[in-house]
Structure formats: C-alpha cells, structure tokens
C-alpha cells in the first residue's frame, strides 16, 4: 500500500562534485536565484533532498564551487592580446559576459573568489600585462586589484540586478525612468535638463565607458602614447 512507487536508489558514484555543480548552475540559469535550494538541487539530480551534503559541506561550500566554475568558463581558451591594455580589457569583458550569462549564479557567489587555477592564470596574465607596461611591483599589485575588482564588482552588480524577480526588475527600470521624467525643474534642474538622456543609457556602453576611462588613465600613467604592441 504505502510506497507510491518510490524512486530507485541511485547507484554508488552517480553523484560527483562536477555533476552537482553543473546541475546547480543549470538550475540557477533556468529558475533563478530565488528558486534555488538544496532540496531542489537534490531532486533535480534524481537523488535524495540531502544527497548533496555528502559532497559539499553546506550550501556555501557548493556556491563557492559554482563561483569557481564561472571563472573557469570566463577564462577558458583565453590568450593575451598583442597590446597589454587590450589584454586587461578583454579579461574584464570576459568576466562580464560570463556573469551576464549566469546572473543568478553570479549574484549568489557575491564577492567570493576561489583562487582556483583559472583565476590564478587570469591574475598572472593581468599582472604580467601591467609589469610589461613598466609598472613596478607595488603599483602593478594596486592596479591589478583595481582592474580585477572593478570587473568583478561591476559585473556582479549587474548580474545581481538581472537576477531580481522580473516584476521587481521591470518596476525598478520603469520607476527610474518615471522619477527622472517627473523631476521638478526647480529643485532638480540638472536631472530635468537631461531627463530624456538618462533612461537611454545602454548597459553595454556604460560598462565599456567605465572600463575605457579606467584603462585610459592607466595607459597614460604607463607612458605609452599609443597602441604599441606588447611583447
């Protein structure tokens, strides 16, 4: 009577950390951050709700592994560009592209980094670019952190925004547009003056602009006057 067809036990070794991370990433991509939970993940794997705990010590541990997977994906097949500043820019763009492709996962990983092999390789490439540009150790360390943190935080923030519930996100966008348009010319003259331009700012251009401003200053400081190839 009881057992209304219970699922057959999964064979030993059916669950691997790799499979679990992949499934978690798929779940996050498909259903969003809010819908993600350990029980769901277990069920999606065709396993018990608590099976994942045999491979990860907890939710946090798992999400860290997901974050690592994202960085792997971001830096896969990366090769340095001829000019050092382009290398920096490309690495930043890759981080952003990956985070925007997996917004829920990126939002949940937050400001955590893993020092996995992918990240270390990217860091080495960035630092190499900066040292090749002539910066000394102290300054290279600082500028590496500036560029890397910029890319991670900016992309992470965008991802977090995109992983809001669709209604919330829509309300946010519409609300902003409305608030600008309704700005009182007396108390907020400058917002009023550019009220039509504000909602038209494109996220891609915005990122490129910020990145460009940052890198321009760095290029200038390096003493390079143009796009001299970097060997």
Q: Is 121 in the site for its own copies (CB under 8 A)?
A: yes
Q: Is 115 in the site for its own copies (CB under 8 A)?
A: yes
Q: Please, which of residues 123-142 interact with its own copies by CB under 8 A?
A: 123-125, 127-128, 131, 137-138, 140-142
98 closest CA partner among 144, 156, 24: 156
Residue 170: contacted member of DNA, its own copies, none (CB under 5 to 8 Å, by partner type): none
Q: How far is the CB of 189 from its own copies (least distance, A)?
A: 7
**CB-neighbour burial class of residue 148 (10 A; exposed 0-12, middle 13-18, buried 19+):** buried
Binding DNA (rule: CB under 7 A), the pick from 1, 5, 7, 167 is 7
Alpha helices in the chain (DSSP H): 17-31, 38-44, 59-75, 84-101, 103-109, 117-132, 137-162, 166-181, 189-193, 203-222
129 closest CA partner among 117, 112, 146: 146
Residue 150: contacted member of its own copies, DNA, none (CB under 5 to 8 Å, by partner type): its own copies
Q: Are 114 and 68 in contact (CB under 8 A)?
A: yes
Contact residues for its own copies (CB under 8 A)? 60, 110-113, 115, 120-121, 123-125, 127-128, 131, 137-138, 140-146, 149-150, 152-154, 156-158, 160-161, 164, 168, 172, 175-176, 179, 183, 187-191, 193-194, 196-198, 200-201, 205-206, 209-210, 212-214, 216-218, 220
């Amino acid at each position: 009577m009881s057992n209304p067809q219970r699922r057959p036990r999964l064979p030993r070794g059916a669950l691997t950390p790799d499979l679990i991370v992949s499934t978690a990433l798929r779940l996050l991509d498909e259903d969003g951050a809010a819908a993600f939970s350990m029980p769901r993940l277990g069920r999606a794997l065709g396993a018990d709700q608590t099976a994942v705990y045999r491979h990860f010590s907890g939710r946090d541990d798992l999400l860290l592994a997901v974050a690592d997977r994202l960085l792997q994906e971001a830096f896969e097949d990366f090769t340095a560009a001829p000019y050092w500043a382009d290398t920096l820019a490309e690495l930043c763009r890759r981080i952003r592209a990956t985070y925007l492709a997996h917004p829920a996962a990126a939002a949940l990983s937050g400001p955590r980094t893993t020092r996995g092999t992918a990240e270390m390789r990217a860091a080495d490439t960035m630092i190499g670019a900066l040292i090749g540009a002539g910066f000394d150790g102290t300054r290279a360390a600082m500028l590496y952190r500036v560029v890397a943190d910029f890319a991670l935080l900016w992309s992470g923030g965008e991802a977090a925004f995109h992983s809001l519930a669709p209604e919330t996100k829509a309300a946010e966008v519409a609300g902003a547009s409305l608030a600008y348009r309704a700005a009182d010319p007396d108390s907020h003259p400058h917002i009023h003056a550019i009220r039509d331009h504000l909602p038209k700012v494109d996220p891609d251009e915005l990122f490129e602009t910020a990145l460009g401003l940052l890198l321009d200053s760095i290029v200038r400081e390096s003493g390079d006057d143009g796009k001299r190839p970097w060997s």
